[in-house]
Copies of this chain bind each other. A is one copy, B any other.
Amino acid sequence: AEPFKDLPPMCAALFEAKARKGLTFEAIGKAIERDEVWIAAAFYGQAKLTPKDIASLSRVLELEQSLLEADLGANWWPRRGLGPMPPNDPVLYRLFEGVLVYGHAIKAIIHEKFGDGIQSMIDCQVTVDKKEDPKGDRVVLTFDGKFLKYSQW
């Protein structure tokens, strides 16, 4: 698939192994004790695996640990940010549209509740939950990030 060409080749191998084993991210996440969104981010080269994560992934996906370490280990650092902006894919575009439409309101509320600063996207945890609903199931997407106050000097 298209974003792989911007990623280390080992990322494609991770996706192939996942498909071959028939595992979901939820299953992989549970097996290596990580959230499913975070481990999916790591597959897309957007998070740095710890040595323990690499050992666990190697076991769960039956991939040679030394190859994982060579490509995604201590000497590799994520180049974060993936794909064109604005995104073409409607799933991604809807998130982008959320920023376009609700961004200023979110900013206003953050300032009112916290003061002059930002929600960190570094010290932040992202989760996706399914909420069943007779009128149609709902996706609950949560960003839980530390508030960072602007320096004054």
Chain A: residues with CB nearer than 8 A to chain B? 1-3, 6-8, 15, 18-19, 24-26, 34-38, 40-41, 43-44, 46-48, 50, 75-83, 85-114, 116-128, 130-131, 133, 135-153
Contact = CB atoms under 8 A, between A and B. Distances in A.
The secondary structure that dominates the A interface is mixed
How many copies altogether?
A: 10
A44 to B, nearest CB: 5
Given A41-B101, A109-B37, A139-B147, A96 B94 contact: no
Shortest beta-carbon contacts, A-B, top 6: A81-B88, A40-B105, A119-B139, A41-B105, A19-B75, A125-B153
A73 B139 CA distance: 23
